[in-house]
Amino acid sequence: MSSAASADHRRWGGARPGRPDRSLKGAGLNGMEVYRSDGEVNGFSKLAEKYGLLKLGGSDFHGRGGKDESDVGTVKLAITTLCCFLKMARSIWSSAMKDILLKFAEGLLQI
């Protein structure tokens, strides 16, 4: 492993894998997955609160079709979590939606 890669590994939690530190927030981390597929909160919830990170959820969908794998979009999230995510990501999704709607209005996009 190069010295730069080794430094990056340590910076991103190398001594405590899976446990991000406060430098991640400064590097642009806005949120982390804390909601499990069953809607329950995992152990990272308090860490997200500690660093002021948005609490997100994943589907646990890995494309392998296993019995423990949830379908995409089936994670139960509180509506307030969704609203916080949309507010945080507004600069990204609003310009993308505007482009899509303009192309649709101009007849360039067929749905």
Taking the C-alpha atoms of residue 73 and residue 7, their distance in angstroms, rounded to an integer, is 36
User: Which residue do the tokens 């609003």 mark?
Assistant: 94
**This prediction's pTM:** 0.53
| Three-state DSSP state, 96 | helix
CA distance linking residue 98 with residue 102, whole number of Å = 6
Domain map (residue ranges) of the chain: 3-76, 78-111
Q: Which residue has the higher pLDDT, 10 or 25?
A: 25
Number of H-type helices and E-type strands within the chain = 5, 2
* 30-65 tens-digit pLDDT: 888 888 776 677 888 888 888 888 888 876 666 777
Is the confidence at residue 73, as pLDDT, over 60? yes
Higher-scoring residue by pLDDT: 77, 85:
85
